[in-house]
């Protein structure tokens, strides 16, 4: 291979790699729930969340399997398998479908021996104006204003990485004599192709007040 061809090839590889580096963060720049940071201790924050609307689906399997299968069901809803509000005649049909914009994070919480995966509905919708999911597996939930304690971290969302940071957060909670709800909320902000270094993951606990 000539020097010129080798240079072109290396340039193309560099462009592809840079595109891959940028794709995850750029595609993660979507609407997120509104909250106010009340306290900050390094990666740990106490937040006051505004009321929000969430679409939930509960599936079984390991945590990784459950979030994959759960999000597929939710993605089907937000990409158009829904019925406009008040349009009962088209329920289950193929017309007048509405695509709902992607948001972040995708949330996950243990539900007994199963897992509930949650998608935050864009703030422009209310329960009355949101298209209704055609899947009976999806439940729409209005969440009130609520206070959470969170820890933010990068890296892959493997159970090992998640549990390590959950343990750190629990230590902080214990040391500060805080009362929180038993089940942790896991929050993942990025598409799966995002490089681990650029990922944003969180573990949160709802604070009992």
Expressed as residue numbers, the domain containing 167 is 1-51+144-209
68 & 131 share domain:
yes
- For the segment 63-82, what is each residue's pLDDT rounded down to a tens digit? 999 999 999 999 999 999 99
Query: What's the domain count of the chain?
Result: 2
Q: Which of 140, 166, 186 is the last residue of a domain?
A: 140
pLDDT by residue (tens digit) across 144-188?
999 999 999 999 999 999 999 999 999 999 999 999 999 999 999
Q: Indicate whether 119 and 72 sit together in one domain.
A: yes
**Whether residue 81 sits in one domain with residue 35:** no
56 belongs to a structural domain: no
Residue 47 lies in a domain: yes
DSSP string, 103-163: BS-EEEEEETTEEEEEEEPPTT--TTTSPEES-TT-EEEEEPPEEEEEEEE-S---HHHHH
Phi, psi of 72 (to 5 degrees): -60, -40
Residues 40 and 73 in one domain: no
Residues 101 and 78 in one domain: yes
Q: What's the rounded mean pLDDT across residues 108-126?
A: 95
pTM, 2 dp: 0.84
Assess whether 126 and 153 both reside in one domain.
no
> Last residue of a domain, which of 123, 140, 157?
140
Q: Where are the beta strands (DSSP E) in the chain?
A: 35-41, 44-49, 52-59, 82-83, 106-111, 114-120, 132-133, 139-143, 146-153, 185-188, 201-206
pLDDT, the chain, mean: 87
């Amino acid at each position: 291979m000539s020097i010129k061809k080798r240079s072109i090839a290396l340039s193309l590889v560099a462009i592809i790699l840079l595109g891959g580096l940028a794709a995850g963060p750029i595609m993660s720049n979507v609407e997120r729930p509104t909250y106010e940071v009340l306290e900050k201790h390094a990666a740990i924050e106490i937040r006051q969340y505004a009321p929000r609307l969430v679409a939930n689906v509960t599936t079984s399997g390991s945590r990784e399997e459950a979030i994959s299968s759960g999000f597929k069901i939710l993605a089907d809803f937000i990409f158009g398998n829904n019925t406009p509000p008040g349009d009962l005649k088209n329920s289950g049909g193929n017309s007048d479908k509405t695509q709902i914009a992607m948001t972040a994070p995708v949330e996950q919480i243990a539900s007994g021996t199963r897992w509930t995966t949650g998608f935050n509905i864009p703030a422009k919708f209310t329960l009355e104006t949101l298209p209704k999911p055609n899947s009976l597996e999806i439940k729409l939930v209005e969440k009130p204003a609520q206070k959470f304690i969170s820890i933010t971290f990068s890296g892959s969302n493997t159970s090992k990485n998640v549990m390590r940071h959950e343990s750190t957060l629990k230590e902080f909670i214990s040391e500060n004599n805080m009362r929180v709800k038993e089940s942790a909320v896991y929050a993942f902000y990025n598409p799966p192709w995002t490089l681990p270094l650029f990922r944003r993951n969180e573990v949160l606990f709802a604070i009992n007040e």
